Amino acid sequence: MNKFIQRIVNYILQRRRDRLAKTLDMLKPRTYTNSSTKTHINASETLTITSETNKILDTITSEVINIVKTCETDPKKLLDFVQNHGTPVYKIKNADKILKRIKEEEGFISPISGLKAFYLNFFTALLSKKRLKFSFKSEAMFVLKDAEPSIYFILHQFYLWYGYTKGLPGYDEKSRSLLKAHIDVMSESDVNGMSVEEIIGLKEAIARDREAAEFVIQLAKESSGAKKALEKMQQGGANI
């Protein structure tokens, strides 16, 4: 793996994958059924039937690759694609600081509710100079700093968004909230305090994040422009 790919791994995958793996290790097997995944568990074996989820996953990667090619691996064109398919994109100065107040991060944000949603709706509209929206429910959206984003960051977030549009599990507010809360640390008491639904929801959220990271790494490995980008980076002209 060359230095260019290694840097991507450090940025997108290793930083998150290691933490996600630790979180998964803490989760005890139980039993749960959701819209596309049916899980049967007993003391001696675990059988997970994910027929609908697997069908969706089988098509997502190839579809996203085709979209990326059509958009010429251009962050702006990818974000235009997102907006053209009904998801608003807000580019706001100091977006990271604004989102930190409600424990959200830049990029794709799946729907949330309550005071966090009210805050998000109000400030995205206000700071992007659009009609103010007063609602305790938010729609799916992208929120980014008003600057040129890294293509690899956008690819990661685009893949997450695309999975959401396809109806994959793991994007509900509770599951995403659990992911954010436990990505760094999780104790035995945290796990014991979770319901079956919360545990499986968290596992699904972790799976979606890891799939997106793996996609970007694989795309970078296969990219014909990787060598040129590496050369540019070595000359001090590329930012990841």
Q: Which residue has the tokens 């568990």?
A: 41
Secondary structure class of 192 (helix, strand, coil): helix
Instruction: Provide the pLDDT for residue 42.
Output: 43
With contact defined as beta carbons under 8 Å apart, do 162 and 64 qualify?
yes
With contact defined as beta carbons under 8 Å apart, do 136 and 117 qualify?
yes
Report helix, strand and coil shares of the chain as percent, to nearest 5: 60, 10, 30
Q: In whole angstroms, what is the distance from residue 163 CA to residue 176 CA?
A: 14
The overall longest dimension of the chain from CA atoms, in Å, is: 58
Q: Tokens representing 30? A: 């139980």
Domain assignment present for residue 58? The answer is no
Reported as a single tens digit per residue, the pLDDT across 168-211 is: 999 999 999 998 887 777 677 777 788 878 888 888 998 899 89
With contact defined as beta carbons under 8 Å apart, do 143 and 90 qualify?
yes
Domain assignment present for residue 93? The answer is yes
Quick one: which of 35, 41, 77 has its CA closest to 55? 35
Instruction: Provide the pLDDT for residue 49.
Output: 46
Domain assignment present for residue 51? The answer is no
Domain assignment present for residue 59? The answer is no
Reported as a single tens digit per residue, the pLDDT across 207-239 is: 899 899 889 888 887 764 555 554 554 455 444
Inter-CA distances, 24 with 21, 133, 137, 180, 203, Å: 5, 38, 30, 13, 7
Instruction: Provide the pLDDT for residue 201.
Output: 87
Say how many domains are in the chain: 1
Q: Which residue has the tokens 């109806």?
A: 167
Instruction: Provide the pLDDT for residue 47.
Output: 39
Domain assignment present for residue 100? The answer is yes
Domain assignment present for residue 172? The answer is yes
Where the chain has pLDDT below 70, the residues are: 1-51, 186, 223-240
Contacts for 85 with CB less than 8 Å, ≥ 6 apart: 165
- Record the pTM: 0.79
Instruction: Provide the pLDDT for residue 107.
Output: 97
Domain assignment present for residue 50? The answer is no
Residue span of the structural domain in which 194 resides: 3-20+74-231
Domain assignment present for residue 196? The answer is yes
